[in-house]
């Protein structure tokens, strides 16, 4: 697999060199605003809307075309392109989507082409932009894990199959990141990572934007002490999540938690939960389209991920008034102020997470204070504020030659 991925990357780079020589020069953008073409693999509607709404609401965005296989609803200024069923049957979801993406770029001639995640969406966006004279943007929503060690920790179906870290693949991916006109990241730590690796791209910190009318604190009775929202995949390290609950249960026997999300580890995690004697403490709720109702029924949000960008699920939880207990990784400390609106945990030991769970559950005054602070901190990610960040970024890209 390592040989195959390296070979594919060499072929890609040859295509990039050819596009640089034969492609069109970057076209000037009129004051009418930008026509933006995007593609991405979305796992939830909340996640998609959080990134799309602030962008299309910017006055600098005249039109947004989104190529996707995910059922995104009709949105203002947004044209949705779905690959045909025939194309999907022939090639599969991701190849069919990328074929439709190429077609939309060649026919629509957008001003700005972007992809969520680097492989393969961002890589295709950079190549197409060189071909047609457009600007390119890479949405690094997963943080350094998309590149680090060749993307071995990523959820990408191809690069995630690397059996061990591959420095050559990582170096190549860093070269690809340097080709973009703009790199949108979720927090400062990701910028530090890229700059330490020698990438001098035009970085913008623009997270998803949240609706404060939807994600708001509730004062009613809660059902769960703890909640996790997200994919059930290895990088989220949910075995540690369960072991932390097991550690907390020794001091707080009635602890209750819900896991909202689906993924390939569901059966395995269910078995681990039973093995730890947590069958009456932890409920696996599966995929839920309306996350807010589950957040408002819970007290504390917890992550135990190996790495993160700036978790949108965490942002939604904090805006809903939930203090958080999360590992000190990625960009999470851009929002979490340790001991003020949540806890940043340095250790990977279950007891380190468990003691903070118990502390919040047993100290009502501390919980109330952290709940207020969590909500206040998350307000900076309200849609209007995120749209203002897009206004600035798009203006800079429109003026770039």
Mean pLDDT of the chain: 93
Q: What is the pTM of this model?
A: 0.91
In sequence order, the 6+-apart residues with CB closer than 8 A to the CB of 169 are 2, 5, 6, 9, 149, 150, 151, 159, 162
* Tens-digit pLDDT profile for residues 181-212: 999 999 999 999 999 999 989 999 999 999 98
Tens of pLDDT along 270-323? Answer: 999 999 999 999 999 999 988 999 999 999 999 999 988 899 999 999 999 999
Which of the pair, 31 or 69, is modelled with greater confidence?
69
Q: Do domains 2-209+382-399 and 224-381 have the same CATH topology?
A: yes
| 65 pLDDT tier (thresholds 50, 70, 90) | very high
Residue 401, pLDDT score: 57
Lookup result for tokens 């890229």: 194
152, pLDDT greater than 90: no
Class of the CATH-defined domain 224-381: alpha beta
Q: Which fold has domain 2-209+382-399?
A: Rossmann fold (3.40.50)
Share of the chain above pLDDT 90, in %: 78
Max distance between CA atoms of the chain, in angstroms, equals 67
Report pLDDT for 397.
Answer: 87
**Every domain of the chain and the residues it spans:** 2-209+382-399, 224-381
- Tell me the C-alpha distance between 8 and 16, whole Å: 12
User: Given pLDDT bands bounded at 50, 70 and 90, which one contains residue 220?
Assistant: confident
Do residues 33 and 60 make contact, with C-beta atoms less than 8 angstroms apart? yes
Q: pLDDT over 70 for what percent of the chain?
A: 98
Q: What confidence tens digit (pLDDT) does each residue in 336-386 have?
A: 999 999 999 999 999 999 999 999 999 999 999 999 999 999 999 999 999
Of 13-22, 161-170, 244-253, which one has max mean pLDDT? 244-253
Judge residue 312's burial from the number of C-beta atoms within 10 Å of its C-beta, 0-12 exposed, 13-18 middle, 19 or more buried: buried
């Amino acid at each position: 697999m390592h040989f195959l991925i390296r070979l594919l990357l060499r072929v890609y780079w040859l295509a990039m060199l050819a596009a640089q020589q034969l492609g069109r020069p970057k076209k000037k953008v009129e004051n009418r605003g930008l026509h933006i073409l995007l593609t991405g693999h979305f796992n939830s509607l909340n996640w998609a809307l959080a990134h799309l709404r602030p962008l299309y609401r910017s006055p600098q965005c005249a039109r947004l075309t989104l190529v996707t296989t995910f059922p995104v609803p009709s949105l203002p200024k947004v044209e949705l392109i779905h690959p045909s069923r025939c194309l999907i049957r022939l090639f599969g979801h991701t190849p069919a989507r990328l074929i439709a993406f190429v077609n939309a770029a060649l026919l629509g001639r957008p001003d700005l082409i972007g992809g969520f995640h680097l492989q393969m969406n961002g890589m295709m966006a950079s190549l197409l932009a060189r071909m047609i004279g457009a600007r390119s943007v890479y949405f690094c929503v997963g943080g350094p894990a998309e590149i680090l060690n060749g993307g071995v920790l990523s959820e990408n179906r191809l690069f995630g199959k690397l059996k061990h870290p591959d420095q050559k693949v990582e170096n190549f991916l860093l070269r690809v990141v340097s080709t973009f006109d703009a790199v949108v990241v979720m927090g400062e730590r990701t910028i530090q990572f890229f700059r330490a690796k020698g990438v001098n791209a035009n970085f913008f910190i623009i997270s998803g934007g949240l609706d404060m009318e939807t994600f708001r604190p509730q004062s009613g009775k809660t059902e769960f002490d703890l909640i996790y929202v997200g994919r059930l995949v290895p990088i989220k390290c949910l075995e540690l999540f369960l072991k932390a609950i097991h550690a907390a249960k020794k001091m707080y026997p009635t602890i209750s938690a819900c896991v909202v999300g689906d993924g390939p580890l569901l059966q395995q995690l269910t078995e681990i939960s039973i093995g730890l004697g947590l069958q009456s403490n932890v409920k696996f709720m599966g995929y839920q389209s309306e996350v807010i109702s589950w957040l408002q029924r819970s007290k504390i949000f917890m992550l135990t991920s190996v790495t993160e960008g700036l978790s949108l699920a965490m942002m939604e939880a904090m805006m809903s008034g939930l203090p958080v207990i999360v590992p000190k990784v990625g960009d999470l400390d851009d929002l979490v102020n340790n001991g003020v609106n949540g806890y940043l945990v340095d250790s990977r030991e279950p007891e380190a997470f468990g003691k903070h769970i118990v502390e919040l559950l047993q100290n009502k005054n501390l919980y109330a204070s952290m709940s207020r602070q969590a909500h206040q901190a998350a307000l900076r990610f309200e849609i209007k504020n995120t749209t203002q960040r897009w206004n600035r970024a798009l203006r800079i890209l429109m003026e770039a030659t």
